[in-house]
A and B are shown apart, each in its own frame.
Chain A
């Protein structure tokens, strides 16, 4: 067990492991949650929800299939998207502004994030836009199509192709398999 990995310790029920997880990934969770919620109170509830979920999912972490920080993000995304989609189910695209936030303090740092970022930057503007709306904002393909005026099929293809490229890069450079 790699000592820098916290999730296996959480899975083993080690004392203070979950506390360590909060110390290590609290800011990541907060950053992700803040982008998917309208208030800090909502974000706090979401983060607490995600922590419980992480606590249960910890045994599923496999270091050979990606970084721990990415796994935490996967778990958090599932919960955050689920919450967000329920809240915005009846919202119109006009009520969901694109809100491109500049990362003044930088973004969340990790090797896999760097790889993803590099590949993302190599994409065309339209593809970057739909990927950002899908991943960063959590919009559905339909909302993105309505928002951008692009055909739904184009939206889908751009998003899928971009993600697939990142996937292949991650596997090629960080290990793991499809």
Chain B
């Protein structure tokens, strides 16, 4: 058997007896093994006192219920835990064990000082637990209060959002109503204007000055034509009519409105006869429409509004005849006065 020697070997041997600082504490060397085997061989066998064993078993149970991995990590980070840590671990383990049999064998601890020390540590551990529990309770209370506040705030926000949505909906409603009202207003306004025009037409004034004004207005309307009167060119025309009557016709096809203006038209006796105006459209003489009857009461200027009974289309000719009072539907055109052909 060769016994290796040398510094490296001595180092391991000295470590095994605690006479050299430990290297890697995780490694169990053959020298450790030899020292431990001899140690066992030299150590008188003793029986662990029952109370000590009970407490050690209690510690074993506490350690077993701990997550070993966490402890291993913690140990790896701190390979040489301080000696003050162990009593704390033990005290904490006792608390965890629920105190069953905790003090059952306390008398076995011979030193009153040790007993007091353990008791104090236990008391401190219990106090720490109580403080922790109180902190947890306070934190919970705060958390609940915060959650309550958040709840209230979010409820308020929801309500405000609803109110805003309602207000917006009402606003849109009102905008729509305003728009509708505005359209209706325009429609009514147009209808009012039309009604006013209708009323104005129905109340066509007979006052000569107004008629003259209206005729002047019509002349400013686009597409209004103005045609001068010409004598009938028929050979049997009454001599008194020839070249005597002057004036013109103003007419607007679109408005179906017009005015006759005469100068030198002989005053008539409405009981015997009346003048009648005829509107003849471009389709020919057969398509003549009465423009109404009128009287010539003065030898000055006469303005007569044309009011055709029906739509006359595009006018080709205006003619004035002398007819029986009230006019006739079918003129014989024998007593023609003047004509105004459209050019």
Q: Is the CB of A51 within 8 A of B60?
A: yes
Q: How far is the CB of A146 from chain B (nearest CB, A)?
A: 14
Contact string against A for B residues 39-74, beta-carbon threshold 8 Å, 1 for contact and 0 otherwise = 111111111110011011101110110001001100
- Return the contact of B63 from the options A18, A34, A132, A134 (Cβ within 8 A): A18
In B92-119, the 8 Å CB interface with A consists of 108-111, 114-115
Residue A5 at the B interface, CB < 8 A? Answer: no
Q: Is the CB of B86 within 8 A of A167?
A: no
Among B18-26, B268-276, B319-327, which stretch is in contact with chain A? B18-26
Contact string against A for B residues 2-37, beta-carbon threshold 8 Å, 1 for contact and 0 otherwise = 011100011001101111001001111011111111
Q: Is the CB of A108 within 8 A of B48?
A: no
* Chain A interfacial residues counted at CB < 8 A: 94
Query: Complex formed: what's the CA distance from A95 to B266 in Å?
Result: 171
Q: Is the CB of B37 within 8 A of A40?
A: no
Q: Is the CB of B34 within 8 A of A107?
A: no
Q: Is the CB of A41 within 8 A of B110?
A: yes
Residue A89 at the B interface, CB < 8 A? Answer: no
Contact string against B for A residues 147-178, beta-carbon threshold 8 Å, 1 for contact and 0 otherwise = 00000000010011111111110111000111
In A23-62, the 8 Å CB interface with B consists of 23, 26-32, 34-35, 39-45, 47-49, 51-52, 55-57, 59-60, 62
Given A17-B64, A51-B59, A81-B18: A74 in contact with B36 (beta carbons within 8 A): yes
Q: Is the CB of B46 within 8 A of A70?
A: no
- Return the contact of A132 from the options B10, B42, B44, B115 (Cβ within 8 A): B42
Q: Which residues of B contact A55 (CB under 8 A)?
A: 63, 68, 71
Query: Complex formed: what's the CA distance from A160 to B4 in Å?
Result: 11
Query: Complex formed: what's the CA distance from A172 to B34 in Å?
Result: 12
In A107-141, the 8 Å CB interface with B consists of 107-110, 112-117, 120, 131-132, 134-136, 138, 140-141
Interface residues of B (CB under 8 A from A): 1, 3-5, 9-10, 13-14, 16-19, 22, 25-28, 30-49, 52-53, 55-57, 59-61, 63-64, 68, 71-72, 75, 83, 86-87, 89-90, 108-111, 114-115
Closest 3 CB pairs of A and B: A73-B36, A30-B48, A117-B41
Interface residues of A (CB under 8 A from B): 13, 15-19, 21-23, 26-32, 34-35, 39-45, 47-49, 51-52, 55-57, 59-60, 62, 65-67, 69-71, 73-75, 77-78, 81-83, 85-86, 101-110, 112-117, 120, 131-132, 134-136, 138, 140-141, 156, 159-168, 170-172, 176-178
A-B pairs with beta carbons under 8 Å apart, 10 shown? A19-B64, A30-B46, A32-B43, A47-B52, A48-B86, A51-B59, A66-B33, A105-B46, A110-B40, A113-B40
